[in-house]
Every structure is written in C-alpha cells, then in structure tokens.
Amino acid sequence: VLYRLVYDLLRLVGLGFMIPRIVTIGQQSDGKTTFLEAMLRLCFGYTRNGAAATKGPVRIDVKNDESSPTPRCQLNQEHIRLAAIQGRMRELMEHRSLSKEETHLEISYSGAPNLMCVDLPGIVQETGDTTREDVELTMDVVRHYVRHSPNDLYLVFKRADVDPGTWPIHDFIQSLGLHREQTIVACTRAENFLRENRVIYKTELLKLIKQKRVHDCSGEPIPMYFVELHNLSDQEKALPFAERTAVMEGQLAARRLDILDRLNKLENGAATDEDTTELYRYFDVESLEAHLNATFRRLLLRQLHALKSSLTSLLNELTSRHQVMTRQMEKIAPLTLGDLIERIVDLLDDTAQKLFNGEHPLMTEAFIAQHGARLEDDLGHGEDLARRIFRQ
C-alpha cells in the first residue's frame, strides 16, 4: 500500500519514473500477458490470438480491495466488467495508431497484490502481412519507454522452443541498455522445449539451456527461467471469476508437474549435485518468483534512497533560497515580514482611535469646524437635528 501511495504522489509531481514497475518486453505471442495473468492469479485476457491487442503500453494497476470478492475494473477510468475487457480494448485500439501513450487498466479485488505492471506492445515479426517499418515502429515504442523509465524491472520474454540463433530481437534487447540487475528472461513453452530436445543426460539439457542465454548491455548473462503457462479455452474464459481462476491454477500446477516428471527421468551421467540443482532451478517457478520479488525490493529500496537524497538536496536548496530572501528583506526593512505586518496593523489601529477622539494632528480647527470633532459634540448636534425633524 505504501508503495502505491509513494508512486501516486510522485507521479503527480512528475517523478513517477523514480519508482520501479514490472515491465514486459517480447515479441507477439511470446506469452507476456499470459505470464502476468499467472503471476497475478487473474485471467483478464485482453489480447487476441495472432494479433497485437494493444498499440501502446498498457499500465495494469492491481489493488487489494477487501470489500470486493469479485474484480472491479476500469479501463481509462471507464467502469467495465472483467469479461468485457477484451472487447472494449479491441474497440479502443481499432481507432488509434501505434502510440507511446499508455492505456490504463485498473483491477481491484479482495486478496489482490498491490502491484503495478506495464505490458509493452509485442514486437511484430517481418512477415507477409507486416513490413520492416512495422517492426521498427513497435521497437521504437519499446525503446522510448525504456529510455524514459530506466528504473523499472524488465521481464524479457522469448519462446524456449525457438532456436537461439534465429531469435530476431536479441541485438535489440542488448541495445536497450538494460543491466542484469534489473532484468530477468522468461523462456515460455518450456514443455515444448523439453519434448523437442529428447536428451538422455542432465548435462546435455544444461548445455542446451545455456545456449539460450540473453546478455545485457555489458555482455553479462541475464538471469533466465523456463516457464509453462496456462491456455484457457473460450468456454473456460467465460466461467465466473472464481471458477476461471481455479481452472487457470489447475492447468499451471498440472504442467509444472509434467515438467518435473520429465526432468526426473533424465539420467545423471556425469552431472554433479551442483549441475542438478542448477538444472532444476531453471524450471522452478518458486525460484523465479523469489528472484522477481528480491530484485523488485532491491530496485525499490535503491530508488527510495535516491529519492531521499534528491528531496534532501531540494530541501537544502529551498532553505538556502529562503535565507537569501530573508537577508534581502532585512535590507529593505530590518523587521521580519511578520513583524512588519503586526506593526502596520498597530499603526492603523492607533490612527483610527485618534481620529475618533479628535486627537489626530489632521484634526485642525478648520477641519473640526467643517466636519465636527469629539463624539460628545457630534451626539449633541445629532440630538438637535432629531428634535427639528421629529417635532411633537
């Protein structure tokens, strides 16, 4: 909750970029949005198979709301049902071109994590339906976001069953300037990868895995994990929230057991205990979640420390400016502004009293003769006037 409060306050003054968010990068159909669903335990499914559902970054704000057992949703501040997100998103995107502008999706429900994610548009592949210009446009949107959000945690997605030598955005990822301390690679379709690579020994599989490493801007390997995600049918997506979530979690659990079973069937051969631990870690979802949490906390603490330093410097600067202004005011009047105001009020009060009593120097004989002076004289004249007007 504190994380969200700090972010919202800083965003109001243009400093929202200092607080990290979880951001997904990858090609179309690499599983970016599906992974977010699995991580949030929430199937919102705004993407469409075979095409990009968005033409710009989608900011997903998830909030805990104990009063709401079922999700409450807003899309660009418009209240909608969870089941209507996909259709409404499609309507929005059909009337806009590729843009760097964020679309805001807010979802709140009981037990939800207080988390902010950004789903960047999938980088299109150059095919018969798309051109090199289309590819460059999506890359430009991603590049622009990373350049203006250097403190976020980036999840880079790639399909595990794609040959590493043919992954078209490897050089692009390196060009973004990301470091391994803020980046994690998630290789999706892990089960297909294991099925297609029918190795016998653990060391053989470990070698194939290391060939798929992605490197950061310094040439260092980025931490990498292999995941298998859910795939709900249209009928399952139409189920009520609780049932749909149960089906999604059931699929995830079953597929993880299948992967574990395949790993257990591999022979040790020359594999050491360290090799076995490393191999299982690549496919361990709990290790991925722990790594994600630890990295996010580290980035958040680093940014809060930097924010504290920035605010301290700003306070010192404002204090210095105040002192300069105070010295300048003292040259004009030796009194402080508060003292000066108090002195003026006292002077006005004293002047009013003297005018009322006829004791002010302004009250010359000519002025008194024309306008009257003391209260007693004025009352006497008033009584005479009243008698003349109201004669009995």
Q: In the prediction, which pLDDT does 142 show?
A: 93
Tell me: pLDDT of 296 over 70.
yes
Tell me: pLDDT of 251 over 60.
yes
CB atoms within 10 A of CB 61: 18
Digit-coded pLDDT (tens) for 39-83: 887 777 666 544 445 688 999 998 888 888 888 999 998 999 888
SS3 label, residue 50: coil
Phi, psi of 79 (to 5 degrees): -70, 125
Phi, psi of 88 (to 5 degrees): -70, -35
Q: In the prediction, which pLDDT does 363 show?
A: 56
Continuous H helices in the chain:
2-12, 32-40, 85-94, 132-148, 170-175, 190-196, 202-210, 234-237, 241-264, 273-282, 285-332, 337-357, 365-371, 375-389
Question: In the β-sheet with 22-26, what is the strand arrangement from edge to edge?
Answer: 78-80, 72-75, 103-109, 58-64, 115-119, 22-26, 153-159, 183-188, 224-226
For the segment 217-230, the average pLDDT, to the nearest whole number, is: 93
For the segment 259-280, the average pLDDT, to the nearest whole number, is: 94
Digit-coded pLDDT (tens) for 94-143: 777 788 888 899 999 888 888 889 999 888 777 766 778 888 888 999 99
Q: What percent of the chain has pLDDT over 90?
A: 33
Comparing 1-15, 42-56, 180-194, 226-240, the range with the smallest average pLDDT is 42-56
Q: What percent of the chain has pLDDT over 70?
A: 82
Q: In the prediction, which pLDDT does 98 show?
A: 82
Digit-coded pLDDT (tens) for 352-381: 677 666 666 655 666 556 555 455 566 566
Tell me the average pLDDT of the chain: 82
> Nearest-CA neighbor of 110 among 241, 301, 296, 222?
241
Q: In the prediction, which pLDDT does 169 show?
A: 81
Specify whether the CB–CB gap between 98 and 137 falls below 8 A. Answer: yes
Tell me: pLDDT of 183 over 90.
yes
CB atoms within 10 A of CB 204: 16
Specify whether the CB–CB gap between 25 and 142 falls below 8 A. Answer: yes
- 174 falls in which pLDDT band (50, 70, 90)? confident
Full-model pTM: 0.77
The residues, ordered by sequence, that sit 6+ positions from 211 with a Cβ below 8 Å of its Cβ are: 164
